[in-house]
Amino acid sequence: MKHYDIIIIGGGLAGLTAAIHLANAGHGILVFEKEPYPHHKVCGEYVSNEVLPYLKSLGINLKDHKAVSIDTLKFSSVKGIVLETKLPLGGTGISRYVFDDLLYKRAVASGVSFIFEGVSSINFKTFVFKVVTVNNKQFTSRITIGAYGKRSSLDKHLKRNFINRKSSWLAVKSHYKLDSFPENQVGLHNFNGGYAGLSKTESGAINFCYLTSYKSFQREKDIERFNTRVVSKNAILKNFLNLAKPLFELPLTIAQISFHPKKPVEGHVLMCGDTAGLIHPLCGNGMAMAIHSAKIASERIDFFLKEKEPNRNKLEREYREEWSRTFKKRLWLGRQLQKLLLNPTVSHWGITLVAKQPWLLKQLIKNTHGQPIQ
């Protein structure tokens, strides 16, 4: 059975960031990822600029990969109210196809080992983790990071509370070509039961990604009908869907998206990114939080592994506390905003108020985002 300092389960943004950070600090890392790179993922593909300095410190400059600079948010309601505001920190448009792949290549260059197989179980006994893959290969480690995203069979295996609660959201994403779409703009457009993001990526393609409740989707049953009969009730989205040319043969979809609170440490596994908690996509901060949580975990783990007398209770307590201090308020605010936005009466009055008091929108953006991290 091969032994590593650290095993990371999931090679998305959180897992890959932690892998690079910890490999650069001199640790032996094994990442399990169930999909080969590169691949498309359901995501709005708008990255908050708060993570750019830290990514640079890991040797990743998104601008070297033709990522797009975004400084304006355009928001619209079903009833036709349109708001535009400058984004305090701004953001970057880059596809997950390119972003995850460039982190993967960076991780390989830093000496990280990869196994492209799903993990089916993790057990912690006498200070050692035993990790078993779906093909029954077994590995051990001193530390295990859970970075396997929103939902996995591992959550059942670890008996996590949120996994038995109903999750009533699904998401759809596709790339489109539309030359007239402004490069510096991210759109957030409301429709009955959900909202859609629109922004440009490094290839010039526009990412169109939406989140909707099952209740709203179920009535129409297929994506085309849903786009025509529900999404297109918003005039901006109707115009986009009429003019833009789809670049994917079929849109990508994911279901059972859960926004219920989770715990950042379970079964002694340190959880990062969506595995620790998913912020509502309307905040445009999930990727930054995934990267930031990986940084926090990596700093604590590096310290733990280099200590003469490592204290696991202290490691877990301090990670839990720092994670909560950094993200809990943002996650809570995201949940409240989503509730407001999806209640047609309340959202109409809320949006009318924000249209009259534009500083309110800036405050909301500020409170759902973090400060630049080094």
DSSP letters of 22-69? Answer: HHHTT--EEEE-SSPSS---SS--EEEGGGHHHHHHTT--GGGGTPEE
Stretch that binds ligand FAD, among 3-11, 50-58, 240-248, 339-347 (CB under 6 A): 3-11
Q: Which of 104, 148, 176, 327 binds ligand FAD (CB under 6 A)?
A: 148
Q: Is the dihedral angle over the CA atoms 7, 11, 17, 20 positive or is it negative?
A: positive
Q: Which of 93, 146, 197, 334 binds ligand FAD (CB under 6 A)?
A: 197
The nearer residue to ligand FAD, 331 or 351, going by C-beta atoms, is 331
Residues 4-63 that bind ligand FAD (CB under 6 A): 9-15, 32-35, 41-47
Q: Which of 70, 112, 122, 147 binds ligand FAD (CB under 6 A)?
A: 147
Closest separation between CB of residue 267 and ligand FAD, Å? 14
Helix/strand number for the chain, H first, E second = 11, 17
Q: What single-letter amino acid sits at 148?
A: Y
321 binds ligand FAD (CB under 6 A): no
Closest separation between CB of residue 207 and ligand FAD, Å? 8
Nearest to 212 by CA among 170, 254, 173: 170
Quick check: helix, strand or coil at residue 310?
coil
Closest separation between CB of residue 357 and ligand FAD, Å? 25
Residues 156-185 that bind ligand FAD (CB under 6 A): 171
Stretch that binds ligand FAD, among 63-71, 104-112, 282-290, 344-352 (CB under 6 A): 282-290
The nearer residue to ligand FAD, 34 or 260, going by C-beta atoms, is 34
Within the chain, residue ranges assigned H as helices are 13-24, 52-57, 96-109, 153-157, 214-218, 223-229, 235-243, 286-306, 312-341, 344-356, 358-368
Q: Which of 20, 55, 102, 154 binds ligand FAD (CB under 6 A)?
A: 154
337 binds ligand FAD (CB under 6 A): no
122 binds ligand FAD (CB under 6 A): no
Nearest to 90 by CA among 74, 76, 69, 75: 69
Q: Which of 30, 211, 244, 315 binds ligand FAD (CB under 6 A)?
A: 211
Rounded to whole angstroms, how far apart are CA atoms 328 and 57? 26
Closest separation between CB of residue 119 and ligand FAD, Å? 4
Q: Which of 93, 193, 251, 286 binds ligand FAD (CB under 6 A)?
A: 286
Residues 260-279 that bind ligand FAD (CB under 6 A): 273-275, 278
Q: What single-letter amino acid sits at 322?
A: E
Distances (CA, A) of 175 to 40, 95, 190: 10, 9, 19
Closest separation between CB of residue 188 and ligand FAD, Å? 9
Closest separation between CB of residue 311 and ligand FAD, Å? 27
Residue 197 exposed, middle or buried by CB count within 10 Å (0-12, 13-18, 19+): buried
The nearer residue to ligand FAD, 40 or 238, going by C-beta atoms, is 40
| Residues 129/142, Cβ–Cβ less than 8 Å | yes
State the Cα angle at 47 between 96 and 257, rounded to 5°.
Answer: 65
Q: Which of 284, 338, 354, 361 binds ligand FAD (CB under 6 A)?
A: 284
What is the 3-state composition of the chain as percent helix, strand, coil, each rounded to the nearest 5? 40, 25, 30
216: its two tokens: 């709203």
The nearer residue to ligand FAD, 93 or 241, going by C-beta atoms, is 93
217 binds ligand FAD (CB under 6 A): no
Interface residues with ligand FAD (CB under 6 A) are 9-15, 32-35, 41-47, 118-119, 147-149, 152, 154, 171, 197, 209, 211, 257, 273-275, 278, 281, 284-288, 290
